[in-house]
Amino acid sequence: MGPPTMDRIQLAATDRSPQVDFDFASGHLSLRGESYPEDAAAFFGPLLQSLRAHLAETSATPIVFEVGLAYFNSSSAKALMNLFMPLEDAAGAGRPVTVRWRFAEGDETIAEAGEDFAADFAHARFEMVEEA
Amino acid sequence: MSVEAMPPEATPAPTRGGSLRGAGPRRNSDFLRAAGFVDASAAEPGAMRPGALRGSARGRDLDSLAHTLFLRIYPVIAVVVLVTQIGIAWVNYRDQLHLYTQRAELMAALTAKAIARPAWSASPEIYRRQVEALTLDPAFRSATLRDAAGAVVLSLGDARRGRSFERITAQADLSSGQDGPALGRLTLSISAEDLRGNAEKQAVMAVVTSLILMLAFVLTLHANVRRHVLAPLKRLLLAMREVEHKRWVPVELDRAFRASNEIDVISQAFNRMVDGLRSGDEAKQLLQQLEQAHQKLEDANRLVMESIGYARRIQSSVLPDRAALDGSGLEVAVLWEPLHLVGGDYFWLESIDGLGILVVADCTGHGVPGAFLTLIVATALDRLLHERGLRDPAAILDALDGMVRAQLRQDGRGSESDDGLDCGICVWDPSRSEIRFAGAGTALTTIDGAAVTRIRGAKRGLGYPQRPGERFSVDETTLRITPGMTLYLMTDGITDQMGAARPGRRLLGHRGVTDILASHQRAPLAEQVARLDAALGAYREGEPRRDDMTLVAFRPKSGDMPRAA
């Protein structure tokens, strides 16, 4: 048994961790800011658990995951991958899933990271959004 | 009289004699002593110490306040009472004297009237009875009856007895009714001794009254001063002593507070002061605790920093000599800057079997955890190069992946480690002017004139727990090195520089870094790397670095290029 499903997880941004808004009820998830927490597993662990629990309980609601990170370290990249995998699996099972990868105009580093992630998705829709 | 018994002047204030003290009520210091305060310093009046309050409390005789009040007020009251009483007695005496005189004159006149007739002196039966009747007056002293010629006809009583001022004398002429000559004269003396007695009694009463007044005054004054002044003052003094010893007790009011009572007002002000002192003291203590905590933190921080400084020496000693490839025909420059003294970035340079080995690794995490991983990598790499003799970069990466995973027990169940590393390996073969590159998460960048290329290796890094069925595979790239070409192995800490205030707040990125490097291609590599470091700092503009950074730049030494086969 996973943890009880939360309707919504909201965390304010710190200088080392992003602003989190996982609104499971509406299927809208978002990460914004920068992500290089000292212990990425401790930060992303609860998010991943809640996401998995939500995916296990519901099957139909579409999910849009917005990721707009100006910087993330390699542990965070790993944690993002861990978040993307169950979403891709859910998309494979028929749920509409969109990952919207937002990056600043001309920020090749983040754009490339998005492209790398996009390559791992076969079923979920992966959108690259360049922001001015 | 008691006023004379203890005049204020008899005991000069500065050195109070024991006579007054001993006779007076309990002394000030007695209650302090009873309360458990003993003062050694009070013997030296000039010596002021931090606890000066004690000295002042001691030197100030609280009971002497009652004495002072008594000595200052009582003489005045006593004199007023005495003077008043004596005045009243004097007026009384005068009135009585006047009444006595009138009485004597009336009696003399009545008797003279009764006697007066022509040739009265010839018949004693006429006047003797009349004059004798005068003796019935208890105050009667003497009576003398003279005829017209002045000869004494009859004399009763003893005119000479008693003092003259205690005698009232009245004279009356015996007249015939018309304005004729006096037929004789009656002289009557009565005693005023009663008056004197009365006056004396009154004087004694005045004295006794003042004595009683004094007694009542002393008792009332003492009782009231004690109750309304001394008791509250002593409570105040005791409270001050407590405060001196930093026991923040407020002084108790024995009744409800009255704004009109000065001592109540003082007590309240004192309590407010105690509150202020207490909060000040508490703040001081908090500050002290804070300073102690700060000191502890500082000590702990110094300890940690010393420890990490030591760790940096160890990590630096694990790193290779930067000139290790000097003999292999390569110009090499290195930028190795951990974020926190030590870090997860690692590089290796070695000339082996005529080949130059260049390795850059970026282990997960930074600081001490990252540094631990670099030691695992360093040990593993050493074994792969020297025990297993691997020279093939892809093979080295593959083997390194297995060794790291085995070392971190990521190959079994229940592994807790989710760590790994990005790694890029170049093997330089001077004889063929070739570089073979294999990378896992780390790219090889080349700049040749205006052309910048990035050869990205495998996307996945080394280590990390594998998903079932996952197998590490990496491709190898062989590059033909031409003069003017410079190669760079760099960790993502180099490209991930966050610009402080740029619109969009974005990372410098690979292109930003290669732009900087490209603009200094003609400079020696060491200078090129130093300029890059400065340019990165300028881009950050005070924004802290995000990661460890390592860059290994290398190129064939100019004029040292072997002829291409």
Residue range A33-90, pLDDT digits in tens: 999 988 888 999 999 999 999 988 877 889 999 999 999 988 898 899 999 999 999 9
- The answer to the question of residue A1 being in a domain is no
Question: Regarding predicted confidence, which is higher, B14 or B539?
Answer: B539
B547 touches A at CB < 8 Å: yes
> Cα–Cα distances in Å, from B89 out to B78, B167, B215, B539?
16, 19, 23, 114
Average pLDDT, integer, range A7-22 = 91
pLDDT at res. A45: 92
- Is A3 inside any structural domain? no
Chain B: give the shortest CA distance to residue A109, in Å: 5
Which of B157 and B309 is assigned the larger pLDDT? B309
Scanning every residue of chain A, which has its alpha carbon at the shortest distance from the alpha carbon of B504? A104
Q: What is the pLDDT of residues B249-270, one digit of tens each?
A: 888 777 777 778 888 888 888 8
Choose the closest CB to A73 out of B504, B509, B547. B547
pLDDT value of position B313: 93
Query: How many Å lie between the alpha carbon of A75 and the closest alpha carbon of chain B?
Result: 7
Which residues form the domain of A77?
8-131
Q: Is the pLDDT of residue B59 over 60?
A: no
Look at A109 and B507 and tell me if their CB atoms are within 8 Å: yes
pLDDT, position B488: 96
**Mean local confidence (pLDDT), A16-28:** 92
Q: What is the pLDDT of residue B178?
A: 66
Q: How far is B504 from chain A (nearest CA, A)?
A: 6
The count of structural domains within chain A is: 1
The residue that leads in pLDDT, B120 or B312, is B312
Q: What is the pLDDT of residue B15?
A: 42
| Comparison of pLDDT for B82 and B40, the residue scoring more | B82
Give B145-204 pLDDT, tens digit per residue.
888 888 888 888 876 666 666 788 888 888 876 666 778 888 888 888 877 788 788 878
CB B472 within 8 A of CB B511: no
Minimum mean pLDDT range among A97-101, B352-356, B457-461: B457-461
B294/chain A closest Cα distance in angstroms: 24
CA–CA separation, B460 and B471 (whole Å): 11
Q: What is the mean pLDDT of chain A?
A: 88
Spell B418-429 as b/e; 16+ CB within 10 A means b: bbbbbbbbbbbb
Domain ranges of chain B: 102-198, 320-556
Greatest distance between any 2 Cα atoms in chain B:
202
Q: Which tokens go with B93?
A: 């005496």
Which of B51-55, B332-336, B387-391 bottoms out in mean pLDDT, i.e. has the lowest? B51-55
User: Can you give the pLDDT at residue B63?
Assistant: 64
On the question of pLDDT at B504 being above 50, the answer is yes
pLDDT at A85: 92
Q: Please name the residues in contact with B546: beta carbons below 8 A apart, sequence gap of 6 or more.
A: A36, A71, A73, B339, B493, B496, B497, B498
- Tokens in use for B162? 């008693």
Residue of B434, B432, B407, B433 lying closest to B420 (CA atoms): B407
Q: Which residues, in sequence order, are bridge partners of residue B422?
A: B362
- Taking one residue from A and the other from B, the number of pairs with CB-CB distance under 8 angstroms is 54
Binary contact (B509, A71; C-beta < 8 A): no
Provide the terminal-to-terminal Cα distance of chain B, rounded to the nearest Å. 142
Q: Please answer yes or no on whether A74 and B506 come within 8 Å at the CB atom.
A: no
- Inter-chain contact B506–A116, Cβ cutoff 8 Å? no
Tokens 């370290």 belong to residue: A73
* Residue B18: pLDDT over 50: no
| pLDDT value of residue B67 | 79
The residue ranking higher by pLDDT, B253 or B55, is: B253
Average pLDDT score over chain B = 81
Q: Where does B320-556 sit in CATH, by number?
A: 3.60.40.10
- Range B50-71 average pLDDT: 59
Q: Which amino acid is at B313?
A: R
* Least-confidence region, from A18-22, B362-366, B396-400, B512-516: B362-366
Judge whether residue B25 has pLDDT over 50.
no
Q: What is the CATH number of the domain that holds A91?
A: 3.30.750.24
- At residue B453, does pLDDT exceed 60? yes
Largest CA distance in chain A: 44
Is residue A54 within 8 A of residue A8, CB to CB? The reply is: no
In chain B, residues with a C-beta closer than 8 Å to the C-beta of A36 are: 546-547
pLDDT confidence of residue A115: 92
Outline where DSSP puts E strands in B51-165: 140-147, 152-157
- On the question of pLDDT at B44 being above 50, the answer is no
Nearest to A107 among B459, B492, B509 (CB): B509
pLDDT digits (tens, 9 = 90+) for B88-130: 888 888 888 899 899 889 988 888 888 887 778 788 887 888 8
Tokens at B501, concatenated: 């205030």
Task: Return the residue matching tokens 């005991």.
Answer: B11
Quote the CA–CA distance of B329 and B347 in Å, as a whole number.
19
Structurally, at CATH architecture level, domain B102-198 sits in 2-Layer Sandwich (3.30)
Does any domain span residue A83? yes
Give B162's strand partners. Answer: none
As a whole-number percent, the residues of chain A with pLDDT over 70 amount to: 95
Q: Which of A78, A109, A116 has its CB closest to that of B495?
A: A109
